Every structure is written in C-alpha cells, then in structure tokens.
Amino acid sequence: MNDNKRFFDELRGTGDSSRAPYANYTEWFDGEDIRDLNRKSSEAENFFRRTGITFNVYGQAEADERLIPFDIVPRIISASEWTRLTRGIEQRVRAINAFLYDVYHRQEILRAGRVPVDLIARNEAFLPQMIGVEPPGGIYTHITGIDLVRTGENDFFVLEDNARTPSGVSYMLENRETMLQMFPELFTKVKVRPVSDYPTNLARSLGACMPVNASGEEAVAVLTPGIHNSAYFEHAFLADNMGVELVEGSDLRVQDGKICMRTTRGYRPLDVIYRRVDDDFLDPLNFNPDSLLGVPGIFDIYRAGGITIANAPGTGIADDKAIYSYMPDIVEFYTGEKAILQNVPTWRCSEPDALSYVLDNLEELVVKEVHGSGGYGMLVGPAASKKDLALFRKKLEAKPGNYIAQPTLALSTVPILTKAGLAPRHVDLRPFALFSPRGVEITPGGLTRVALKKGSLVVNSSQGGGTKDTWVLEGD
Amino acid sequence: MLGKTAGGLFWMFRYLERSENMGRLIETGFRIALTHPGGDEWQSVLQTAAAAQAYSETYDEVEQAQVIDFLLRDTDNPSSVLSCIANARQNARLVRTALTREVWEAVNDSYMVLKARLARQIRERDLPEVLGLVRQQAALVRGALHGSMLRNDGFDFARLGTFLERADNTARILDVKYYVLLPSVTQVGTSLDNVQWETILRAVSGKRAYSWLNQGKATPVGIADFLIFDQRMPRSLKFAVGKIRSNLRQLESEYGETHACHETAERMDRHLQTGRIEAVFDEGLHEFLSGFLFDIGNLGRQIEADYRFHG
C-alpha cells in the first residue's frame, strides 16, 4: 500500500499541494538549498551539544549523555485546530482533577458503577495514604502532558494522559530557541505564537497553590532525583528559568513543621516543591523505605498543610493505562459533556473476551504494559518479528491483567529533512497544560516527537525517536 | 543559595584552576627536559603534582612519555588534566542553575574540546599545541565568568575555589623546589643557575614578569620574595590570600555573618602583609611553606563547614 494514501500527511493532506498551515513555510522552503539546510541541521546538533541538552539512557553506562535528534522542519498547527485541541485538553485536565478528588474522597464514580471498584482498589497507582487529603488549591495535576496523535483532518486521539511527572517541556522551549537562532527570517514570514512564557507561567501557577501553613516567602523549588537522572537537564533548565532552587532530597529536611532546604545561611523553609521524583521515592518513611532520593517525613508535612507537592502524590491513578479506557466515561461523569478528544479503542486483556480477541489479532495490534512507560516493554504487532509475537503471546497468557491492546493507529506524518529532501515520518504531540486555581493554561505548542526511521510508528526517544519544533499559528 | 550549590561552584573552579596548573607543570617539565637532558625533572614534577605515589603504583620507571600521559589524560589519576576538566564539568552540571549560559557553555565546550583532543596519547610534537589548548580553555571559562556572572555570593564561592587552589599550588611548587633555593641562600645576591630558577618561574607563568621586574637578575631571595610577597604577581601567595580575604569579606557583608574562616583568612593575610622574605629564610623556607599549606587546607575545610557545603 502506498504510504501517502494510507496515512494523513500534515503537509500535503490528501492532495498534492500544501495544506493551508504550511503554505508560507513551503514557500520559504522552496527557495532554500537542500545542502544548506542539511548544513544548518548539523549546526543545530552542535548547538544542542554545547547547551548540554542531553538525556541519559538507562542501562547505558558509556555514552551516558545522548542527544535527542532534532529535525529542523517544524510541525505546524493552525489557530483553529489549536482552539479545538485546547478545549479538549482543558476538559480532560479538569475531569482528571475531579476524578482524582473523587477517588480520594467520596468515590461517587465507583458508587455509580461507572468505574469498577477493583480497578481502583487493586491498582498499584492508587495511593491509600492520599484518602481524605486536601491538596492545596484543590489541584492534583499542576502539570499535565497529554499525548495526542492525529489520523486525519479532524481526527485527534488521546494516546496517554501523563498526569504524574510529564517531561519534555525543555525540548519544547529549546527547540524553539534553536529555530529562532537558525532561521530568524522564517519567523517574520510566518506568525508563530511564542512558547517562551512557559517557565514564568509555571512559576506563577505553582505560586498560586500555597499550602495552608505558608512561610510568606512563596518559596518554590524543583526536586530532582539528581545528576544521573535521564531528565536532569530538564530539571535544571526549569529551575533556572523559573529562578528557583534545584534541590535533591539530601538538601532537604523537616524542621518546625516545614520542609527546609540547606542554604549557605542555614535552613530555609519551602512552600512548593515541583517534584520530578516518583511517588514511590518521595518519602522513605511513608512509601518505599529504601529510597535515598526523597525526604523522610515530607508526606506528613504535606498532609499537615506545610508544603505543596506538585503534582500531588497519587495522581498516577488517573493516567494508569487500565483507567485510560474509562476516560470517556470519566469525562462525561464529571463535566456532563461528551469528551471532545477521542480515546483510542482499548482492549483490557484482563477481560477474557478481550484477551481472546487480542491473541487472535496480535499482528494487527499494539500491546502495552499497564504500568509501563516510555515505550519500554511494548509490542507493535505489524512491525514485530515472529519471535516477538510468540514472546508476547506467552506474556499475555501468563499475566493478561498486565496488558492492554489498541489498534495500530495510522499516525499522521510530517516531513523531516533528509539528504535527499523532505520525507514523511510519523509524529505525535505532547502539549503541556498548567492547572491552578487561576484556571487551565495551555502553552501554544508542545513537544512533537517523530519516528525518524522510515515507516516506524514508535516515536519514543529511547527507541530512536527525535523531536521537532511545534508551531501554533496566529491565524489559519 | 543552597550549600550544595556553593560547594559545587567552589569545586568547579578549584578543578579548573587545577587543570590549568597541571598543564603548566607538564609544560615546565617538558621544557626543562628538552633544554637540560639527563636531569630528574619529571620526578620533581610528579612530586609537585602530588602524584608521585599514584604514579609509582602504576609504573616502575619515571619515563617522560608515561609521566606526560599520566598527568595529562589518565582518568585513573584524579589530578590529570582530563580528570580535572571532567570534574569541573560534573560540578558545573550540578550547579547549572547558578551559572549563566555563557559560563556553562564555556565549561561544557572545554570539556568536549579537551576530551576529544585527549582521546589518544599525545605525540611529543603535538604537546605544545595541546598544552596551549588547555590554557586557552581555562581562560575562556574564566572570561565567561567575569563577563557574565552576577557579583553575588555565587561569584564569591567560584573565586574562593580558584584562589585557594592557586595558593596551594604556588606554595607546593616552592616547597618542592626549596632545596634549589636553600643551598645558595648564604650567598645572597649571587646568581642562581638558570635551570633551577627557570623551573620555578615557568611553573607559575612568571618567568618573563620576574625578569622584567629584576632586569634578568635571579636570586633565591628574589624569586621566593616574588612568589610569596609580591602583590603584583597574580600567582603569589600574598595576592591569592588577599583575594580569598576580600571574597570572604564580601560574603560577610552580604550575609551579615562572620565565621571561623574569616578569622583564619584575616590572620593569614596579616601575616603576609607584614612578613619579610629575610625573616622567612631565617625561620626556614620549608617550615614557612608547611605552615602555609596547613593553614590553606584548614581554611578550605572551614569554608566548607561554615557555608554548609555538605549535610
């Protein structure tokens, strides 16, 4: 089958001329020399290396810092497309927060029978310690990074709701900086909405969620697992751009009912911690006792209103892959509206009928671990070898409850620059939404991940994916 | 500022200074070996670099190519140029939020450039170029620091690291070479053999400056005076301690807090302000330098504790 017919290309659509959002860009591109652009492209790589925008790959001791490849062709979204997306994202973020408040309080949705009790009660992502806890400002997910894919002119699907500690926002910002440096003239030709306000908005958004017992200083810090974490660059980047301290567990301790950080002048109280440490490692006294990354007793201080933790502990129950399939119900239950963004049809392998369907159609489906993340431990049926298929068949039969399956989506393509010119590659999109008592703020843009290998549908950076700058236009 | 961040800045600049000093020591050793073959200059370089012990654990003989490789690019040697620059960059990553983009990029660049250049053993004929590169990279980071960093506590901690390392380095060079100066001290005014004082002055990039100030006449007392008491010489003990004292004073006024380290620095500074080279020779140069090295080590530990670098 012809790739161009089967997949929606965001540059060409179904015809041969550029779709409207790409018109100005194409006009510019046609006047450029491919060799010059390829040279620019390697300049971009140098730029990233110098800036230190790297990520560490787990399980690779040597070359522990790698670059995520950057493609210089932007992914372009029109104003009206974006408006529709943001309405859907806002609806979803509000529903997720209402759902979280509910499952940790009255559990109306379980009583109403819209979500099975077992799915919550037996879920590792459900944090019983959070029952009855009032998060400051009523906010659970201060930052959400919802993964979207497109399959047609008007078809957007939510692939995943990242409600724990979504990463990638530094790439959104640095990709734009890079483009501004490399192609300043393009930005006078094409009116692109800026993304650079994100750190300021994040700081303001976090500052609007002071705990009950606040210090009066509005002291915010970013908590990182440390220099060896795969996203350390991003943690440092965000702290730097917000103008707040970047702390590790070893810099913090409990003092007088507050979390305090060790400064050159003694211990100073903090009010908000934007943590990039998983729930499990947050507090060895309350969660994983072996954790060296967290702060002993931080959860007790949280419950007593001494600190705001963003995102709140226990948000994982909202982006769990088994919960995902209930999201259309969840959105409707709390907002009274139909979900604006579609869900991908999902087979829950814990259900015998679904399991037998999945086993019968394995070569057509994508199988994901319920608790996995980042493209680890996943099977893409159409691209898998016989051996992989057999292996997953065994896994599914052994522990069906660990897996969900989805149809292989016809992910849209956006061109990348190759030596020979433009070539279509599959993409997804992760916009970032901030939520505070002031409302939902969605930065016009996001992280576009692109599968650089021809025909590949896996966009994860750990699996050979790259990124693109994402442009949201002022107009259509 | 976080105590950890202060410590990171302090060590980042200590390591940068150390990489530069190490490069200069290698340069000196190489130069002397070329112009005066048959000497045991490399042994003395290893001693000055405080690397003689570590070296002898790996190698049986002191041989030029091995010593150079060990001091330049052996990552098992924590003081090699490559280890120092890697450590400086690691600390820079740790304190990324306290650095300007310029400083970060300069140190990251240095690391990438030197790591690439030092990936393989350096041929003798390439050595001058490589050592020039080491010096140049250190200058770039220093320039970025001066041109772009706020003059606040972070800057003070960076400078404290630089000058503590520098004072330690100059004192160590003198201490290893004091026997060169001592035998002839009785004949004050007589000229030293070229090679002896050349080593010392080259190791602190002070040969030309000294000649210029002394019309080319080198005496043991003159050289020791230059390296200990000359306020104009940016690698002298007096200069380095003066800088340490003034950065500590700035911290004192910014924070409104006085610590044990302030008292130590003031005392060391007073000692150098009022000291005379003749008295140092009377007391014994080695005794004086041992005392100084002890004080400098102590001061470093006090700064770490007073500003809570560690938990």
Q: With a cut of 50, say whether residue B115 has pLDDT above it.
A: yes
Of A51, A248, A264, the CB nearest to B6: A264
pLDDT at A48: 79
Give the predicted TM-score (pTM) of the model.
0.89
- Answer yes or no: are the C-beta atoms of A97 and A87 closer than 8 Å: no
Chain A residues closer than 8 Å to B105 by CB: 50-52
Q: With a cut of 50, say whether residue A3 has pLDDT above it.
A: no
A227/B94 Cβ within 8 A: yes
Contacts of residue A450, Cβ cutoff 8 Å, sequence gap at least 6: A71, A75, A414, A416, A425, A426, A427, A459, A465, A466, A467, A468
Of A52, A246, A262, the CB nearest to B104: A52
Nearest chain B CA: its distance from A131 CA (Å)? 34
Cβ atoms < 10 Å from Cβ of A382: 11
Mind listing the pLDDT tens digit for each residue in A65-81? Answer: 677 889 999 999 999 99
Contacts of residue A295, Cβ cutoff 8 Å, sequence gap at least 6: A249, A252, A253, A254, A259, A282, A283
pLDDT bucket at A457, cuts 50 / 70 / 90? confident
Average predicted confidence (pLDDT) for chain B: 91
pLDDT bucket at A82, cuts 50 / 70 / 90? very high
Q: With a cut of 80, say whether residue B190 has pLDDT above it.
A: no
A265/B255 Cβ within 8 A: yes
* Best mutation target, A264, A268, A274, to test chain B (most B CBs within 10 A): A264
Structural tokens at position B75: 């990552």
Of A232, A236, A251, the CB nearest to B2: A251
The chain A residues in contact with chain B (CB within 8 A) are 49-52, 227, 232-233, 236-237, 239-240, 245-248, 250-251, 261-266
pLDDT, mean of residues B41-45: 87
- Answer yes or no: are the C-beta atoms of A209 and A137 closer than 8 Å: yes
pLDDT at A65: 67
Angular region, A257: left φ>0, alpha ψ -120 to 50, beta rest: left
Of B97, B109, B311, the CB nearest to A236: B97
A52/B108 Cβ within 8 A: yes
A265/B94 Cβ within 8 A: no
Interstrand relation of A308-310 and A272-275 (parallel, antiparallel or unpaired): parallel
Give, in order, the Cα–Cα distances in Å from A123 to each of A117, A120, A126, A319: 10, 5, 5, 12
Give, in order, the Cα–Cα distances in Å from B64 to each of A399, B30, B33, B134, B259: 64, 8, 9, 19, 46
Mind listing the pLDDT tens digit for each residue in A417-438? Answer: 999 999 999 999 999 999 999 9
A227/B90 Cβ within 8 A: yes
Instruction: Write out residues 79-98 of B within 8 Å (CB-CB) of A.
Output: 90, 93-94, 96-97
| Nearest residue on chain A to B305, alpha-carbon basis | A264
Size of interface A-B (CB pairs under 8 A): 63
B255/A262 Cβ within 8 A: no
Q: With a cut of 70, say whether residue A2 has pLDDT above it.
A: no
Residue B145 backbone phi and psi in degrees, to 5: -60, -50
| Nearest residue on chain B to A48, alpha-carbon basis | B105
Of A51, A263, A265, the CB nearest to B105: A51
Give the residue with greater pLDDT, B206 vs A99: A99
pLDDT at A58: 46
- Answer yes or no: are the C-beta atoms of B224 and B280 closer than 8 Å: yes
Mind listing the pLDDT tens digit for each residue in A114-127? Answer: 999 988 988 888 99
Provide the CB-side half-sphere exposure for B278 (13 A, CA): 3
pLDDT, mean of residues A36-58: 77
pLDDT, mean of residues B10-36: 91
pLDDT, mean of residues B133-140: 94
- Answer yes or no: are the C-beta atoms of A247 and B2 closer than 8 Å: yes
Angle at B79 between CA B75 and CA B84, to 5 degrees: 75
Nearest chain B CA: its distance from A192 CA (Å)? 25
- For residue B272, give the 3-state DSSP assignment: helix
A240/B3 Cβ within 8 A: no
pLDDT bucket at A363, cuts 50 / 70 / 90? very high
Per-position DSSP letters for B217-236, written without gaps between them: ---HHHHHHHHHH-TT-TTS
- Answer yes or no: are the C-beta atoms of B181 and B33 closer than 8 Å: no
Give the residue with greater pLDDT, A54 vs B130: B130
pLDDT at B3: 97
CA distance A47 to A36: 16
A49/B105 Cβ within 8 A: no
| Nearest residue on chain A to B104, alpha-carbon basis | A51
* Best mutation target, B97, B153, B306, to test chain A (most A CBs within 10 A): B97
Cβ atoms < 10 Å from Cβ of B151: 11
| Nearest residue on chain A to B157, alpha-carbon basis | A264
Mind listing the pLDDT tens digit for each residue in B241-255? Answer: 999 999 999 999 999
pLDDT, mean of residues B108-121: 94
B257 Cβ under 8 Å from any chain A Cβ: yes
Mind listing the pLDDT tens digit for each residue in A192-239? Answer: 999 999 999 999 999 999 999 999 999 999 999 998 888 898 999 999
Nearest chain A CA: its distance from B144 CA (Å)? 14
Q: With a cut of 90, say whether residue B216 has pLDDT above it.
A: no
Q: H helices within A286-433, ranges in order? A: 298-303, 316-319, 321-324, 327-335, 352-360, 386-398
pLDDT at A61: 41
The DSSP 8-state label assigned to residue B182 in this structure reads S
pLDDT at B215: 83
| Nearest residue on chain B to A249, alpha-carbon basis | B311
Angular region, A464: left φ>0, alpha ψ -120 to 50, beta rest: left
pLDDT, mean of residues B283-289: 91
